[in-house]
Each structure stands twice: as C-alpha cells, then as structure tokens.
Structure 1
C-alpha cells in the first residue's frame, strides 16, 4: 500500500506540474500575442492617417482602412526595395543608390505609375 500511495502522489504531482506548465505557456502566449499585433504594421498609423486626410476627397477614414493602407504601403516599399537590391547586387555593389531605384521603375511595368513622381 505504501508503494501505491507513493505512485499516486507522484502522478498527482506530475499532473499539477503539467497543469502549471500549460498555464504558464498559455499566459506567455497571451503576452506574446499583443506585441505580435503591434509588429504587424511598422509604419506609424497616425502619419498614415494624416497622409490619407491630405486628399480633399477624404473626409473620414476608419481605423481598419488606415491599417490596411499602412500594410499595403509596407508591402509596396518591401517589393520596391527587393527589386532595387537585386539591381544593386547585379552591379556588384553593397549600397543601394538612386540610380538603382530609377532603373527598377523604368524597367518594371508595375512601377510605371511612379514615373515623374520621384523627381528631384
């Protein structure tokens, strides 16, 4: 009987430890979820909202629209940057230059709408 009592005590202790571990895991996941949402968008939303409101046709922008446009802008910047990096690497350089962006905008049709927008 003493052996059975030790075994049941050990199993109940293991169950308690497993429960505590699962509670800590769920709490740490909950704590991690909040920063993940913050990391989804890197552009400042107030600045994006201000840019949206510079359009005279826009009177009101919902928070969902601001977040969506911010994410779209991030993806666009990322794609343009990747294309510019590939041109930089083709030129056997390590620094992206203005001419790399100009080449990408001139050669890729998807950036045709930027023609004349980035003149200095």
Structure 2
C-alpha cells in the first residue's frame, strides 16, 4: 500500500473505514457511555423552535451519527494534509474536504470557500500591519511627520527605521535582522 498514489490510498482508507463502521454497527453496544456529551447535543437540538421533546433513543442515534460524521470528515481532511506533505491538520484542509465531497454541501456556509488557499506562500509577500483604531492617531501623525503618503499601507515604525538603515536597538554595531512586522 506504500506505493499506491495518495488518492488511491484515500479511497482505500475510506472503504476500510465504512466497512469497519458497518461491522461496528452490527455488534451489540453499550449505549450508557457516549463519546460525545449527550446533554450538549440535546441542548443544540433544542435550539430549534419546532423541537419540544427529544427521546433518549433519538439522542443516542444522533450522537452515534455525529461521531461517524466527525471521523469521516477528519479522515478526508487528513487526506488533504498528506497530499500537501504536512503533518499538521489546518483549517483549509477541512475546507478542501468539504468542497471535494457533495455529501458535505450543507457545510459550505460554515466553512467558506475563501478559506481554501494555496498552501504555498510566496516568500516575498509582505503584509502591511493592520492598525487598531486607538493607534491610528499615532501612525497618522508619524506618517505626516515623515512626509509619507497616508494612502500607502502603514508599516510598523521599527520596520520603517530599519528600511532607512538606522540602528533602532541602540547597541554598538548590533543590528537585528530586517524582518517585516506581521
């Protein structure tokens, strides 16, 4: 199985997953212990105005369905993580899993498609610093003092001083590496 392409491995893993789920469902289970908190599930179900009472059986079935759903979504997301040769599951992996499977269409509004990004970021990309409203006066005054166009993206003052070649750290000959303030 190591020589299979990643897509083939994912299909194989999903078929194995559903086979194990079917075997698990056919075996007798103890419903007194649930993996997900039943009280919280019941509370979420009652948020719907049309729901007045929830039977214990429905709650247990819903809990089991949620457990299977979470496991499948996790497997599909992990497949995208492996495709990108990473070992950390990221938000865009879940978004890709949702976008690749029609079964998860109901999640499109919850996991927006604009979260689906290329996993490669160009190294030259420098994002301007976003300024909080209470700091806006300081940066605007600084820009006016230095004669900077206020329409240009604002950079952190230390970054601007580094750009001008000034030693802002005060050490004799000590200069921090130039990095954008992100």
Note if 1:76 corresponds to 2:72.
no
The DSSP-based 3-state class of the residue aligned with 1:58 is: coil
Q: Deviations over 1:48-102 (max 9, x none)?
A: 1111111101000011111111111111011000000111111111100001011
The aligned runs of 1:1-120 (5 Å cut-off) are 36-39=30-33, 41-119=34-112
2 CA distance for matches of 1:113 and 1:37? 28
1 CA distance for matches of 2:110 and 2:95? 11
Shift of 1:38: 4.3
RMSD: 2.1
Q: 1:68 to 1:37 in 2, by over 3 A?
A: closer
2 CA distance for matches of 1:70 and 1:113? 18
2 CA distance for matches of 1:90 and 1:46? 37
**When the two structures are superposed, what TM-score results if normalisation uses the length of structure 1?**
0.65
Q: 1:37 to 1:61 in 2, by over 3 A?
A: closer
Q: Which ranges in structure 2 are unaligned for 5 or more consecutive residues?
A: 1-27, 116-182
Q: 1:99 to 1:90 in 2, by over 3 A?
A: same
On the 8 A contact 2:36/2:63 being kept in 1, the answer is yes
Bigger helix fraction: 1
The DSSP-based 3-state class of the residue aligned with 2:75 is: helix
Q: Deviations over 1:9-41 (max 9, x none)?
A: xxxxxxxxxxxxxxxxxxxxxxxx99x5444x2
**When the two structures are superposed, what TM-score results if normalisation uses the length of structure 2?**
0.44
